[in-house]
Chain A
Amino acid sequence: MMQSKLKSVPPKPTPGAQTGAEKPSVNRRPVLQVEGVDKVYANGTVALKGADMTVREGEFVSLLGPSGCGKSTLLRIMAGLGDVSAGQMRWWEQGYDVVGDTGRKLAFVFQNATLMPWARVRKNVRLPLDLDHSSRPDDVEKSIDEALSMVGLSQFQHAFPRELSGGMQMRASIARALTTQPNLLLMDEPFGALDEMTRNKLNDDVLALWQARNWTVVFVTHSVYEAVYLSNRVVVMAARPGRIVDEITIDQPYPRLPDFRVSTEFAGYCRQVSQALERASALGEEASI
């Protein structure tokens, strides 16, 4: 099982952990570390080879790559869903004493909304609290109300999922992740199936929530624009075998408003990331020949 490999290693003292303001994403405390992780499926498919990465407190990291590059696999490993074939995942527990330990402070948003179709929105949103009684907030109803109002679904709390649009279903899914007040949010191509306008709107919403809540987010996407718009850091992956090939820091201030989408800096970063992605897929093709 995964748990046996999740060793609780006490954090090494990070020099200058709280002081370095000029390069925040480097000096922040690590939340989790992936070290030389391989994932080989029973049929022999190598989904992930030698993945190394560190996610730091408060970061917004995107995993970007073509289909089959193992980005979702890596995210699922981070969520504790599924075993690793080699290497290890380390949780840095200082200040995150519950992360990885009970799974409770970690929330996962799937590619589709993954709502229970038989339950109304409110019941869907409260699911994590119903499943895990151990560390419920004092006022369950209030925390659900908050989560619903944050994603703008208060009015639709008594609707069934099928009565909502795709974007609203995704919002409900995000609200469900919010109720646990996570400090690590894992999102697996959450807006991949939505139209561009809804997607942009939800990107802005997620960014606003991220800033308000001081989360750490790992976001899987195959859209260069989405990755650049959202992230502090874009981790570029290649396929066959799935691996991490590049890392690009998006050194732009937040809040990033829709104007950022049409700025020259944005275009520059997009070009840089696209080139890294092209190099990555060229590597992938070499590997498959």
Chain B
Amino acid sequence: MKQPLIKSERFVQIAAPLGVGVLFLLFWEIMVIALDMPRYILPGPSAIGASLFADWPTLFRSLMITVQITLLAFAISVVLGVLISLVFIQSRWIEISLFPYAVLMQVTPVVAIAPLIIIWVDDTTWALTICAVIIAIFPVISNTTLGLRSVDPNLLSLFRMYRTSRWQELIRLRIPSALPYFFGGLRISSGLALIGAVVAEFVAGTGGARAGLAYLILQSGFTLRIPRMFAALLLIALTGIVLFALMVWLSDRVLRNWHESALKVEH
């Protein structure tokens, strides 16, 4: 049966936040005009849109560099994080001995470590990637480790009764059990990889052809090109949202048949 559009859950989910956004932009534009706000303090949405259009080649080039570092850092975090978790679950001793250092890495602000890494690593792309990995890897490690340990004890008993090898136990039981936790880690980590890439670039201040969005923001600040600053900011935010949505979609696809987090409540 065809439902009226206004009653459809999906329509409301999209339309409601969109409506709020449009109202906010309108209010912003009107206030900027009404208060006669100078552009170098607060440009209106129309000015930002114009800058987005006019500066697109520069913005796009920087966007690609930031995205490249983010994705590289994210991929390294996932692979390395999962490997570290697999090592952690081999024995309590390994976990007890190493986990504090993972926490140490997580709690030390990357801004404070970044200058060192930039001195040590010649290649800027890699220096930035390493900074981003330091931030993004922790949720992967902690969530995946938790997941690999969160096995139904009865299922584990059953596996033990059939004298299953550790390998079989890992493949058939621990890894599937860990998936929901792992995907939870991915969602957080994807956002952190972007934050890491941007923060590290602020510290490194890479200019020239390898300038990412963060540098573009810095530079626009120095030259008071505030609309372009907003445009770069918008692109960073959009990148984050796209990454997050991608992770939600992926998690939903993998877990939809069995995990509570992906179940749709029927009305």
Contacts and interface: CB of A to CB of B under 8 A. Distances in A.
Q: Give the interface SS of chain B, mostly helix, strand, loop or mixed.
A: helix
A117 interface: yes
B161 A80 contact: yes
B82 to A, nearest CB: 18
B93 interface: no
A128 B162 contact: yes
Contacts of A160: 257-258
A130 interface: yes
Contacts of B263: 162
A102 B163 contact: yes
B257 A114 contact: no
Contacts of B164: 131
B127 to A, nearest CB: 40
B163 A132 contact: yes
A75 B148 CA distance: 27
A128 B155 CA distance: 11
A114 B163 contact: no
Given A130-B172, A131-B168, A117 B258 contact: yes
A116 interface: yes
B168 A118 contact: no
Chain A interface size, under 10 / 10 to 19 / 20 to 34 / 35 or more = 20 to 34
B160 interface: yes
B158 interface: yes
A161 B157 CA distance: 19
Contacts of A112: 154
A108 B258 contact: no
A208 interface: no
B162 A81 contact: no
A106 B158 contact: no
A132 B176 contact: no
Interface string A80-123: 11000000000000000000001110101011101011110000
A127 B158 CA distance: 10
A110 B155 CA distance: 9
B154 A162 contact: no
B80 interface: no
Nearest to B173: A116
Given A112-B154, A130-B172, A118 B257 contact: yes
A111 B257 CA distance: 24
Interface residues of B, number: 20
Nearest to A177: B158
Interface string A115-150: 011110000000110111000000000000000000
Contacts of A117: 258-259
Contact of B162 (A76, A111, A114, A131): A131
Contact of A114 (B155, B176, B258, B259): B155
A162 B261 CA distance: 13
Nearest to A107: B161
B206 to A, nearest CB: 44
A117 B179 CA distance: 12
A270 B173 CA distance: 42
Contacts of A128: 162
Contacts of B168: 131
A79 interface: yes
B161 A106 contact: yes
Nearest to B159: A131
Contact of B258 (A104, A127, A161): A161
Interface in A49-91: 76, 79-81
A81 B161 contact: yes
B161 A79 contact: yes
A132 B167 CA distance: 13
A127 B169 CA distance: 12
29 contacts: A76-B157, A79-B157, A81-B157, A81-B160, A81-B161, A102-B163, A103-B161, A103-B162, A103-B163, A108-B158, A110-B157, A114-B152, A114-B154, A114-B155, A114-B158, A116-B176, A117-B258, A117-B259, A118-B176, A118-B179, A118-B258, A119-B176, A127-B172, A128-B162, A131-B164, A132-B162, A161-B258, A162-B258, A162-B263
- Complex A-B, nearest 3 residue pairs according to Cβ-Cβ distance, in ascending order: A131-B162, A114-B154, A117-B258
Interface of B: 152, 154-155, 157-164, 168, 172-173, 176, 179, 257-259, 263
